[in-house]
Amino acid sequence: MRKILVAGNWKMHGSKTMVSELLEGLLAGSSAEGNADMLVFPPFPFLSQTESILSGSHIRWGGQTLNPNAQGAHTGETSGNMLKDMGCHYVLVGHSERRSIYGESDEDVAQRFKAALDARLHPVLCVGETLQEREQGQTETVVARQLDAVIDSVGIEAFRKAIIAYEPVWAIGTGLTATPQQAQSVHAFIRDKLTSLNAIIGGQLRILYGGSVNGSNAAELFARKDIDGGLVGGASLTAEDFLAIYGAVA
Ligand code: PEP
């Protein structure tokens, strides 16, 4: 059985006050016995504060990206080992904003995925098509290409420790959500692809949906066979909104 995971990507939002209020609210409104696991991705400057508040609790935390190198002259960058040292268990890899705004190619994403594993972090690999690609019937081709770049680089075995987030770019931060049927169809495609390479890994892998998930649409999405939770942006910034998603898990 794959337990539902509700993950919050705070992007470049927050302050020390907001982080305390949000995390205290999440601790009060969730528990280890709940139907879902909970994970947050704060900006780097708040990881130390996050570790202080969440240490020993049921809520995990992670970094929003990492540099492919373990250390060195890379001004402004953060390594997997640093994230590990901040108590992170997870790291986002290949979020569409990293790909589109910061120019990360499929190959860059594969290198970051490997760097995460080298630092003993669980990579959360984000994949997804643009609106134009969907309209041209390219969704599966694009998602397969993004997955293949990583599989070719690290091998299928590496996915034992990974999570995949399917995030159609046209649904991120737009208020547009893929219908449960649209999302399920791509999730099944991803699972089938990995299962054809390793049945156990494909069966165990958690595949999250991301793209304007909120308290009103989460239950219907998470009820689908191959949707194992959500990667949430906007609705992860207040405890009330995020807990509405957590609470939607049957
Ligand atoms: C995201 O940033 O991964 C995301 C899905 O954002 P939103 O929920 O705001 O669409």
**Cα–Cα dist 132/82, whole Å:** 37
- Of 212, 52, 18, whose CA–CA distance to 128 is shortest? 212
Distances (CA, A) of 116 to 83, 119, 182, 214: 9, 5, 30, 29
| Residue of the CA atom closest to atom 7 of ligand 1 | 233
Establish whether 240 is a catalytic residue: no
Which residues have C-beta within 8 Å of that of residue 112, sequence separation ≥ 6?
65, 66, 67, 68, 91, 93, 94, 104, 123
Which residues have C-beta within 8 Å of that of residue 123, sequence separation ≥ 6?
90, 91, 93, 112, 113, 116, 117, 161, 162, 163
User: Ligand 1 pocket test: which of 40, 129, 174, 212 has the largest number of ligand atoms within 8 Å of its C-beta?
Assistant: 212
Which atom of ligand 1 has the smallest separation from the CA of 236?
Answer: 8
Q: Which amino acid is at 81?
A: N
From the CA of 214, how far away is ligand 1's center (Å)?
Answer: 10
Residue among 97, 129, 133, 167 flagged as catalytic: 167
Q: pTM of the entire structure?
A: 0.97
User: Ligand 1 pocket test: which of 127, 172, 214 has the largest number of ligand atoms within 8 Å of its C-beta?
Assistant: 172
Establish whether 95 is a catalytic residue: yes
Report the chain (250 residues): mean pLDDT per 10 consecutive residues.
96 98 98 96 98 98 98 98 98 98 98 98 98 96 98 98 97 91 98 98 98 96 97 98 94
Which residues have C-beta within 8 Å of that of residue 220, sequence separation ≥ 6?
180
pLDDT at 162 (0 to 100) = 98
**Full DSSP string of 60-104:** EEEES---SSSSSS-TT---HHHHHHTT--EEEES-HHHHHHS--
Residues lining ligand 1, CB < 6 A? 9, 167, 172-173, 210-213, 231-235
How many Cα atoms occupy the beta-carbon half-sphere of 50 within 13 Å?
27
From the CA of 72, how far away is ligand 1's center (Å)?
Answer: 31
pLDDT at 250 (0 to 100) = 74
Strands 90-93 and 60-63 turn out to be parallel
Residue among 95, 122, 129, 133 flagged as catalytic: 95
